[in-house]
Amino acid sequence: MPGPLDGIRIVDLTSMISGPQATMILADQGADVIKVENPDGGDHTRAANNRRNGFSASFLNNNRNKRSLALDLKDPAARDALLRLVATADVFIQNFRPGVIERMGLGEDAVRAVAPAIVYVSISGFGETGPYAQKPVYDPLIQAVSGLASVQAGSDTERPRLVRTILPDKLTGMTAAQAITAALLHKARTGQGQHVRLSMLDTVVAFLWGSDMGSQTFVEEHIPQQEAASFIDLIYETATSAITAAVQTNKEWLALTRALEKPEWLDDPRFKTPALRQRHINERLALIQETLMTRPAEEWLERLTREGVPCAPVLTRTQMIGHPQVAANGIVVETAHPQAGALRQARPAARFSATPATIRAGGPALGQHTAEILAGLGYTPAEISAIGASVTESAA
């Protein structure tokens, strides 16, 4: 059964992570995503390390279910071919630095001239205006300017720290996918296309506001700069391996004291109320850590679970893949790629009861579908050759 976006065509000029992840989510949900790449190397992630048979893991993990069209867009004939393709599409998405797409002759006006109702999507790093608009952008820069590195440090007075995953890139991809489907819904209702603009900086600031910007919320209030409740992560060492446990309510606090056999904590004046426990969080967490070091992780998890304390083991990436909860939900799946071989990936996260998202094909070789796509637009083999399209059956 086709996915919920079956029949939607997306022309994708993005590269790296944020744009390709957005379009892969939509491709998993059934959209026909045509990835337009430069014949000279294609998406930059194709050259990343951790490779097999010419395919990098980074490219494969952000570009499945897509078709690859290799065109040198400096060639007017190739640009004309792209515009002919755009005329058949519902969405056009690009993540070039602001101003570049217009210089390529593929700005909104040029695209809308052939596809008036298209959803035109622009992803940028710092936004399209302002002093940083033309800066080259990578994930650490957004973590720095957005305040995320300060939040991760725990306090404005501590050394900033990066989140050890490219959160701005991936979060922008997810936000873009949601925005595109919203714009497609509006188009289905009204017939009207629109320009969807988002930046990595916009995305991360909005993401942080819900939980980390309380001190900045009330205008004209002199609230101290945001500080962490504690500099101790809720990761505890035990006699064997690490676990996590978190308590919020009085009921859970009582349960924790039972599980750890520490009834005297109930009489400790520092821990009498939730507010006091929060105020003295460092002392409280240090006591918990000291206690948990006395027994194995497996014993503590059993005791904590029995008493109703939220808890879990802390897993490595390899351990996560084999964990019973991950297996029970079928989160990690194996597929066969014609060149890269057997692959292990996360299945599409959102599950649709009537129109399931599926992994239908692995990441394409550079230009793998060029002849197929151009032929579908009415080009003859001679015309395909004349515009200098690159056709290959293997990755660059």
Whether the predicted pLDDT of 144 surpasses 50: yes
Give CA–CA dist 354/82, Å, rounded: 34
pLDDT value of position 178: 98
pLDDT tens digit sequence for 372-383: 999 999 999 999
Task: Band the pLDDT of 269: cuts 50, 70, 90.
Answer: very high
Residue pair 99/54 in contact (Cβ under 8 Å)? The answer is no
pLDDT tens digit sequence for 342-362: 999 999 999 999 999 999 999
Mean pLDDT score, 277-295: 94
Least confident residue range of 57-61, 64-68, 74-78, 154-158? 154-158
Range of the domain at 286: 243-313
369 and 282 in a common domain: no
Task: Band the pLDDT of 394: cuts 50, 70, 90.
Answer: very low
Mean pLDDT score, 183-208: 98
Query: What pTM, to 2 d.p., does this model score?
Result: 0.93
Helix (H, G, I), strand (E, B) or coil at 328: helix
175 and 249 in a common domain: no
172 and 32 in a common domain: yes
- The domain total for the chain is 2
Mean pLDDT score, 193-206: 98
pLDDT tens digit sequence for 120-141: 999 999 999 999 999 999 999 9
Mean pLDDT score, 217-242: 80
Place of tokens 């919203």: 182
pLDDT tens digit sequence for 154-166: 888 889 999 999 9
pLDDT value of position 392: 46
Give helix 18-28 / helix 167-190 axis angle, nearest 10°.
50
Whether the predicted pLDDT of 274 surpasses 80: yes
CATH of the domain at 120: 3.40.50.10540
- Across the chain, what does the average pLDDT equal? 94
175 and 45 in a common domain: yes
pLDDT value of position 220: 85
40 tagged catalytic: no
Whether the predicted pLDDT of 175 surpasses 80: yes
393 within a domain of the structure (yes/no): no
pLDDT tens digit sequence for 309-333: 999 999 999 999 999 999 999 999 9
Whether the predicted pLDDT of 389 surpasses 70: no
Closest C-alpha to 148, from 85, 205, 71: 205
CA atoms within 13 A of residue 353's CA, in its CB half-sphere: 0
pLDDT tens digit sequence for 90-103: 999 999 999 999 99
Select which of 28, 169, 267, 268 is catalytic: 169
Contacts of 132 (CB under 8 A, 6+ apart): 125, 126, 145
272 and 153 in a common domain: no
145 and 178 in a common domain: yes
303 and 335 in a common domain: no
